[in-house]
Amino acid sequence: MTTFLLKNARIVDPSEERDEVGDLLVENGRIAAAGSVQSASNARQIDCSGKLVIPGLVDARVFVGEPGAEHRETIASASQAAAAGGVTSLIMMPDTAPPIDDVALVEFVMRTARDEASVHVYPAAAMTKALKGTELTEFGLLSDAGAVMLTNGREPLGNNLVLRRAMTYARDFGLVVACETQDQNLAAQGVMNEGLFASWLGLEGIPREAEIIPLERDLRLAELTGARYHAAKISTSESVEAVRTARKRGADVTCGISINHLSLNENDIGEYRTFFRLSPPLRSEDDRQAMVSALASGDIDIIVSSHDPQDVDTKRLPFADAADGAVGLETMLAAALRLHHNGDVPLMRLVDAMSTRPAAIFGLDAGSLKPGCPADLAIVDPDEPWVVSKDKLRSRSKNTPFEDARFQGRVLATMVAGRFVFGDL
């Protein structure tokens, strides 16, 4: 394997609270040294002056079409999109056809990823069989096969007794239970945030309580069972307060937020733009700002892309008929850098939320540039301007809410296990 010496880089590594200009030595697929590094013999030197070197991003919520909907996304195409966005590890949701609810399907994902993916792909296993919310899957066997998380994916789990048993069962295996927090009855036929703007557009709204009520239930059950619970995507200020309160009571809970809900609000829907139909729906600007503040303070643990590829058959429809979801692997970091450039969130906290913290929550060997760690990293120009063109996205689906958006900051190269999988400086 090639030895690399990345010279004069701004190294940002939350795992060591390092933010300094220095060198990084990569040998045999691992970080050999960081900081002040003497010139290494036979090392290929790369001048990274003015560039960031950060741990590879860890995206904990990625939907992939394979198996069953390969026309939307395959494991291979998702990994190419991930590499272009600086993501070196992703957790693949179980919402496939068939769902990832048994050992054979976990093994299929891992085998396919090993043979075809350019980044690390970790499967999340279905908490209930066929994601129907009634019969639990075999948590221990799924964990032994390689599943790193238990979740019902897009499907909220409405049965309190089933969820309590799932949390109790998962606790015994040390697995994280991640839930979508949306009450299907309250959400009903809603397609966007309930409020004045929804009324102007003549669209059915989803109240904020549709998120808050199931979240508070989940937090109570997590406290009751002692489970490790993760709220997959929150979007309201009351949700943050509920998580804070549960932590004060001693519950082992974490939470994430989609980059979309940190960057966009309900007004971006404009005249029925279906690429902005998401779940949970885009909220008000007040909620968005509250989410940004909660991220900066650490009350929100992680940022996810919530990458959810949809094709023209499911998106090029009237807003009320279109499917939820947007692609995001390639734009997550660039969108997050907006929060750094405008002074809302420190760069160290952003990298922590997209790399070090998710790796710690889900027990992945990632998110650090300490000597001895795998050389999974991204080289980023924090100031390079660029415009998102959906035709240049590597994902098979092009449903990005950031179409034609102007960003400042771009991934120049991504390295996995000491090999460049995107770019080459």
Beta strands 205-206; 228-231: pairing state: unpaired
Q: Which residues pair with 9 in a beta bridge?
A: 22
Give the model's pLDDT for residue 152. Answer: 95
Distances (CA, A) of 149 to 126, 146, 272, 397: 9, 9, 35, 25
State whether residue 94 is helix, strand or coil: coil
Counting residues of the chain whose pLDDT is more than 90, the rounded percentage is: 94
Q: Where are the domains of the chain?
A: 71-361
Average confidence (pLDDT) over 341-347: 97
Distances (CA, A) of 408 to 245, 277, 290, 387: 36, 25, 23, 9
* DSSP string covering 103-130: HHHHHHHHHHHHHH-SSEEEEPEESBGG
- Where does the pLDDT of residue 293 fall: very low under 50, low under 70, confident under 90, or very high at 90 and above? very high
- Compute the distance between CA of residue 71 and CA of residue 93 in angstroms, rounded to an integer: 17
Q: Which residue has the higher pLDDT, 215 or 425?
A: 215
CA 214 to chain centre: 21
Average confidence (pLDDT) over 205-229: 97
- Compute the distance between CA of residue 97 and CA of residue 66 in angstroms, rounded to an integer: 8
Residue pair 54/377 in contact by the 8 Å Cβ criterion = yes
Give the model's pLDDT for residue 53. Answer: 98
CA dihedral 251, 252, 258, 262 (to 10 degrees): 60
Residue pair 323/315 in contact by the 8 Å Cβ criterion = yes
Question: Could you report the per-residue pLDDT of 259-277, keeping only the tens digit for each?
Answer: 999 999 999 999 899 999 9
Domain 71-361, CATH number (from 3.40.50.2300, 3.30.750.24, 3.20.20.140, 3.40.50.2000): 3.20.20.140
Give the model's pLDDT for residue 76. Answer: 97
Cis peptide, bond prior to residue 207, ω within 30 of zero: no
Position 7, amino acid: K
> If you average pLDDT over every residue of the chain, what do you get?
96
Structure tokens at 297: 């303070």
H/E run at residue 415? strand 406-416
Question: Could you report the per-residue pLDDT of 107-129, keeping only the tens digit for each?
Answer: 999 999 999 999 999 999 999 99
Position 345, amino acid: V
- Compute the distance between CA of residue 142 and CA of residue 150 in angstroms, rounded to an integer: 9
CA dihedral 58, 60, 66, 69 (to 10 degrees): -120
Give the model's pLDDT for residue 74. Answer: 97
Question: Could you report the per-residue pLDDT of 158-168, keeping only the tens digit for each?
Answer: 999 999 999 99
Using alpha carbons only, give the angle 118, 124, 127 rounded to the nearest 5 degrees: 165
Give the model's pLDDT for residue 38. Answer: 72
| H-type alpha helices, 342-408 | 347-351, 357-361
Sign of the four-CA dihedral 400, 406, 409, 410: positive
- Compute the distance between CA of residue 111 and CA of residue 115 in angstroms, rounded to an integer: 6
